[in-house]
Amino acid sequence: MAAQNNKEVDALVEKITGLHAAIAKLPSLSPSPAVDALFTELVTACVPPSPVDVTKLGPEAQEMREGLIRLCSEAEGKLEAHYSDMLAAFDNPLDHLGMFPYYSNYINLSKLEYELLARYVPGGIAPARVAFIGSGPLPFSSFVLAARHLPDTMFDNYDLCGAANDRASKLFRADTDVGARMSFHTADVADLAGELAKYDVVFLAALVGMAAEDKAKVIAHLGAHMADGAALVVRSAHGARGFLYPIVDPQDITLGGFEVLAVCHPDDDVVNSVIIAQKSKDVHVSGLRSGRAGGVQSAPATVPVVSPPCRFGEMVADMTQKREEFANAEVAF
């Protein structure tokens, strides 16, 4: 079985390496038939369940993966900017969001995140104010959450890119409900401090902090400034999907000052994994004790399982498990 898995992993890495080489040679990553075809092939290769653990690949494959994630990030930004400009030409852009080819994925991802928050944050959630870090030129997640799940919540969207925020704000100009609850701020998360304490929930986009150490720094910064009891939603990746997006080590979330409540690895067209955590006064100490420093498992041993109506996969794991168990994700229920 191990030999079969090794062959499968080797074949996948070889395929992904070839696609990376082809994508890197493209003269531009702006939407075009050539760009669309290569990224469609890449996503098709990465989405099915796979035994690959991208964190354990050799140095050459790791370098390729890091480069590929950067290319994916650039291409995603260009695709979103392209469609944001198209949508802005309509009298009410929000009536035409279905033009974006992956809009349904955002609907499903936001539904999953909301259901996980409602189920696993003690006492449930009714946030007055939410922050989305890394909202981009097409803030679909904030829109879907505001329109479908959080009708009374104010949303502050943060992005490094002023042009992205300009594009995003134009999409809401004709909407008196959701538009009135959306604001956009051009800022680096590292420069946010006191304002983070006013949010009941903070969402961290998958591509904020692409390298593991950068992601850990962002999470630690949020842990230092978010209010006690506030929830954090972190988007990660699992299996071969780790060639498309960064994988977040749950221990980095614990060490950042949070209690991790649940992890969900979807097995359908929702590409990102979702980690739900909560800021707590004393969790950092207990996290250090139960994590890398002492090995004492002080958190509950139960594994929270996502139950219907959530259809997004059985891989929901409690954060008391070791890093290897998260990487392999071979949890049977």
Query: CATH for 97-282?
Result: 3.40.50.150
Q: Where are the domains of the chain?
A: 1-93, 97-282
pTM: 0.84
In order along its 333 residues, the chain shows pLDDT tens digits of 455 478 999 999 999 999 999 999 999 999 999 999 999 999 999 999 999 999 999 999 999 999 999 999 999 999 999 999 999 999 999 999 999 999 999 999 999 999 999 999 988 888 999 999 999 999 999 999 999 999 999 999 999 999 999 999 999 999 989 999 999 999 999 999 999 999 999 999 999 988 889 999 999 999 999 999 999 999 999 999 999 999 999 999 999 999 999 999 998 889 999 999 999 876 444 433 333 333 323 343 333 534 323 443 333 443 333 333 433 443 333
As a whole number of angstroms, the distance between CA 189 and CA 316 comes to 28
H-helix or E-strand containing 183? strand 182-186
Q: How far is CA 169 from CA 38, 174, 208, 318, in A?
A: 31, 10, 20, 38
Nearest-5° Cα angle at 287, 231 to 215: 60
Strand partners, 291: none
- Rounded CA-CA distance 104/144 in Å is 10
